[in-house]
Amino acid sequence: MKLFYSPGACSVAIHVILEEIGRPHELQLVSLKDQAQFTPEFRAVNPKGKVPVLLRDNGKVLTELTAIAFYLGAAYPEAGLWPADLDDQAETLAFVDYIAGTVHPQGFTRQFRASRFTPNPADEAKVVEQGKELAAGYFKTIDETWKGDTWVMPFGYSIADAALFFVEFWAVKRVGMPVPPRIEAHLKAMLGRPAVQRALAASGMSA
């Protein structure tokens, strides 16, 4: 398997999952800061121009964080990241999708790529502000609807934790915004996991 990633990007969630699974994998750098997502070589791999991308051993390419996380969790059940019960599966996917489909783009892409949300450069500061407010609201919702204990899901550690990890990491370590105590504790618990430490080190990220 090969993960196309960029340091500091959401792809770190998939990297964490790969490290938890412990199967051999390669990393392919797609440096977003150098605009590598726009190169014809990368567009040939993912026409959507985004990381993460997972190239499977059978040559199939998977895109979208939710789909990749699901695939890895379900394909390697022995790693224990994907529940067996259908209700638990649906709840887990709902959580991952909330992170990938709402928290990431509305809360953080607004802050990191404000120019994509307004044609008027003078409005970009307002877009960033809006992203901060939205992100704070999303973390409040996650806190208020938390069903697990240390980990997001009541049945234990799962792909949902890897998904929460990248947005809480951005919030606390990159943007410096306060998050509810439970989410701060979750980040601390994640940072204590050897798989997370390996993923951060390999991605050139430091906690």
Ligand X SMILES: N[C@@H](CCC(=O)N[C@@H](CS)C(=O)NCC(=O)O)C(=O)O
Shorter beta-carbon distance to ligand X: residue 37 or 158: 37
State in angstroms the smallest separation of the CB of 164 from ligand X: 14
Shorter beta-carbon distance to ligand X: residue 37 or 111: 37
Question: Do residues 52 and 10 touch, judged by C-beta distance below 8 A?
Answer: yes
State in angstroms the smallest separation of the CB of 49 from ligand X: 5
Shorter beta-carbon distance to ligand X: residue 51 or 172: 51
Binding site for ligand X (CB under 6 A): 9-10, 32, 37, 49-52, 64-65, 100
Question: Do residues 177 and 134 touch, judged by C-beta distance below 8 A?
Answer: no
State in angstroms the smallest separation of the CB of 136 from ligand X: 19
State in angstroms the smallest separation of the CB of 39 from ligand X: 11
Shorter beta-carbon distance to ligand X: residue 97 or 123: 97
Shorter beta-carbon distance to ligand X: residue 52 or 131: 52
* Structure-token match 């969630």, residue found: 13
State in angstroms the smallest separation of the CB of 181 from ligand X: 26
